[in-house]
Structure 1
Amino acid sequence: MTDRVVLRRCVAGALETNTWVVRAPDSRDALLVDPGDDPERLAAEVQDLRIQGIVLTHAHWDHVLALPLLAELVDAPVLAHPAATEVWAHELEQARKQGHWDAGTATGELLPTGLLDLDPGRRLWDGRIDGELADGQELVVGGLVVRVVHTPGHTPDGVTLAMPGHLLTGDTLFPGGPGLTGWPLSDFDTIMTSVEHLLTAYDVAVGIHPGHGDSTTVGAEAPSLQAWRARGW
């Protein structure tokens, strides 16, 4: 087994989702995490690798739009927490009811751009999971051990992927605080429990790589835990 990690970031989709590719430095075997959009481009980005699995940190639309075509292009199974099926069903129901995808606090700004419009001709994920993820489960790829940490709150299916020196936190933890809560299937107290675990269980030097935007470290974020609890978001 190896304690070294190679991370590759590809930004895709209306909400500029970070799609992460994870591998050991001496192996072509890799995991692809959160396929936000542009499946052909993502497939081209990893054509030098053997994708062993497409992992979802959670099943919000902006993390899965590329999924059905990409899974075929790279011939890899879909790995997610079992609650992802419920989350995706809710995403689809709300989108069809509203006529557009929900972008949280950015919805009002993005609606006029058309980036949130539903494309009636687009093939969407059918919600099928090839492998269910559980807290504490280990995914071994090319000698690299990736541990699954269940981190609900933003969604009930939220997971963080822990590996030597790095955490892929999806929309659970960002520089400056936890991911958004306040809509159905989310809960602030639950996400703060998840965030507190991440910021107390890992060394201060461990990198935090979220589902959108820049990376940070455990040490940079941990001092703000109580302030986040006090502000309530």
Structure 2
Amino acid sequence: MTYTGDVRAGGPTDLRVLDEIEIRKAAVGSTDNNAYLLTCRSDRSQVLVDAADEPDRLLELVREGSSQLDLVVTTHRHADHHRALESLVAVTGASSAAGADDAAAVAEATDVPVARRLHDGDVLHVGHLALHVIALRGHTPGSIALAYVEPGGRTHLFTGDSLFPGGVGRTTSPEAFDQLYGDVVARVFDRFDDHTWVYPGHGADTTLGAERPHLDEWRARGW
């Protein structure tokens, strides 16, 4: 079955199998949040990107990959991205990570200590996988993305609510938009090629090649 990234809350998981990694995508909650389970094919270690909602569904997702969950990464502090974090950590014993400037807010909201506060340029190692942390400030102060680069191949970018098909994430002021747009251009579009696959926090996937021609349009409209 070909991976499309087209998922809906209450629906099945979509699965992408690469040489080193399995990527599972599921949608949960009333706002169709995407949760991504990354499984190392060598030792079955796993990381979940955003324990957004529906803990039972996310536990089912974890079990689709393997019997263990090593780490949950929260892309940013907004509640719809961590409603299931407390339950999931309690059941699985996974540790928690979040962007440094959002970590205190995530810990306070969930009662889950953030074991690792992530900064731009950090690298998370899960099994044999290396996940590169990219700070994309503006949607929230500590918003992050994760980049996985296939050996000799395509980059896979998990962007939370900082980059979607059609634009950057919502911001609350012109200054925040300027910061987010600047980070997305400098740290994503200037760094990665058009084949880079983008997995956002809600909705359909995209590629940098599909979005790059519209950068000037985003800058001009201010959102």
TM score, norm. by length of structure 1: 0.79
Could you give the per-residue CA deviations for residues 126-148 of structure 1, whole angstroms, max 9, x where no partner exists? 26311111111111112111011
The alignment's C-alpha RMSD in Å is 2.1
Instruction: Return the letter of the residue paired with 1:179.
Output: G
State the structure with more CA Rg: 1
SS in 2 for 1:181: coil
Could you give the per-residue CA deviations for residues 139-182 of structure 1, whole angstroms, max 9, x where no partner exists? 11121110111111100110010011200000000000000011
Task: Tell whether the 8 Å contact from 2:74 to 2:82 is kept in structure 1 after alignment.
Answer: yes
Instruction: Return the letter of the residue paired with 1:189.
Output: D
Aligned residues: 198
CA separation of 1:224/1:17 partners in 2, compared to 1, >3 Å: closer, same or farther? same
Q: 1:10, 1:166 → 2: CA distance?
A: 16
Higher mean alpha-carbon deviation, 146-155 vs 5-14, is at 5-14
Equivalence for 1:73: 91
Task: Tell whether the 8 Å contact from 1:58 to 1:155 is kept in structure 2 after alignment.
Answer: yes
Equivalence for 1:166: 156
Picking from 114, 117, 131, the partner of 1:132 is: 117
Equivalence for 2:182: 193
Q: 2:171, 2:27 → 1: CA distance?
A: 23
Q: 2:112, 2:143 → 1: CA distance?
A: 15
Higher mean alpha-carbon deviation, 171-180 vs 77-86, is at 77-86
Is 1:206 matched up with 2:222? Answer: no
SS in 2 for 1:187: helix
CA-CA distance at 1:183 after TM superposition: 6.0
Instruction: Return the letter of the residue paired with 1:129.
Output: V
Could you give the per-residue CA deviations for residues 21-64 of structure 1, whole angstroms, max 9, x where no partner exists? 11233331011011111112211221224211100110100000
Picking from 59, 62, 67, the partner of 1:43 is: 59
The unaligned stretches of length 5 or more in structure 2 are 1-17, 150-154
Q: 2:77, 2:159 → 1: CA distance?
A: 13
Instruction: Return the letter of the residue paired with 1:191.
Output: L
SS in 2 for 1:136: coil
Q: 2:156, 2:55 → 1: CA distance?
A: 25
Is 1:142 matched up with 2:131? Answer: no
Task: Tell whether the 8 Å contact from 2:37 to 2:61 is kept in structure 1 after alignment.
Answer: no
Structure 1 segments of 4+ aligned residues over 6 angstroms from their partners: none
Identity of aligned residues (%): 37
